[in-house]
Amino acid sequence: MAHVPSPSSVRSVGWEEEKGRRDEMEDGWVFVDHFDESPSSCFWGVYDGHGGRSCMEYVMENLHVNLLAELEQDVANVPDCMMRAFEVTDSDMQTAGLTSSGCTACCCLLRQEKGFADRVLYTAHIGDARAVLCRKGLAVRLTGSSDHKATYSEEARRVVEAGGTIYNERVNGMLAISRAFGDFQLKAPAFPNDIVSNVPEVSSTLISDGDIFVITACDGLWDVIDDQDAANLVIEGMQQFTTLMIGEPGHEKSLGQMAARILIEEALARGTSDNVTCLVVFP
């Protein structure tokens, strides 16, 4: 994990993780303040491994490094840089022989762009990790209308066109998700094409005064809490927290940690069967 105790690029950030009912913790996360050495820029991501920790740990340590290298070559085209960083990370991992596991990813880059008064939030994801923005109290999903799963028609169509099959709601009867790092038994050269894709969906959003916080979490949270419920839980917690902490110096910096803890505890109370990891960022 890479993080700072008191980031200055955002108002507050908090993170929580629990193993839940699983035997092993295969989730990971990262938060990098002053990304690309800009005081107003930061990067964060959540990574959900399967089949072991090796893929998740590699992505957690290398994806943001590869993104920074891509931005140094092409700073004006962030979406393309994010897509290349995903591709390079996956390819390098395969070359390194880390072929026994896989992981999903959802990462965010917040930065100031020339010509914009407000900062831009770029989001890239593969799999079923998700980022949700709370805008004036309403949940806005930043990671597309659906997760990358074999059960979604567009993803199933892509899998079949690449030469794969959907069996028992799984890619080739093996994997519930249709995009991921690793899982090289379902990628070239084992198959003519990558049946499981490493190509992320990338979005960009201007962050303005009405944008309160961003929840980024693995599916251990989203399996039991929908987008708006998650936003509502944080808003309710903020109201109680602010009442209790009013007048306390620096209390705003603790908002993120409070919010992340509320969400994790609620996911556990609702019976999530997975590891559960969550970051809440107040930009």
How high is the pLDDT of residue 250? 57
Question: Does some domain include residue 245?
Answer: yes
DSSP state of 35: G
Q: Establish if 19 belongs to a structural domain.
A: yes
Q: Which two tokens stand for residue 204?
A: 């960009």
Distances (CA, A) of 275 to 107, 122, 159, 283: 18, 25, 27, 26
Domain membership of residue 158 (yes or no) is no
**What amino acid is encoded at 162 in this protein?**
A
| Residue at 162 is within a domain | no
Q: Is residue 3 part of a domain?
A: no
State residue 237's pLDDT score: 93
Indicate the Cα dihedral angle 234, 236, 239, 243, nearest 10°.
Answer: -110
Residue 269: domain span: 12-148+201-282
pLDDT of residue 254: 81
* 16: in domain: yes
pLDDT of residue 2: 39
Which residue stretches of the chain have pLDDT < 70?
1-5, 242-253
* Dist. CA 24–CA 157, nearest whole Å: 33
What's the CATH number where 109 sits? 3.60.40.10
Residue 99 lies in a domain: yes
Residue 205 domain-assigned (yes or no)? yes
Do β-strands 276-282 and 170-171 pair in parallel, antiparallel, or remain unpaired? unpaired
Q: How many structural domains are present in the chain? A: 1
* Cα Rg of the chain, angstroms: 18
pLDDT confidence of residue 32 = 96
Q: What is the pLDDT of residues 231-283, one digit of tens each?
A: 999 999 998 876 655 555 555 668 899 999 999 999 999 999 999 999 999 99
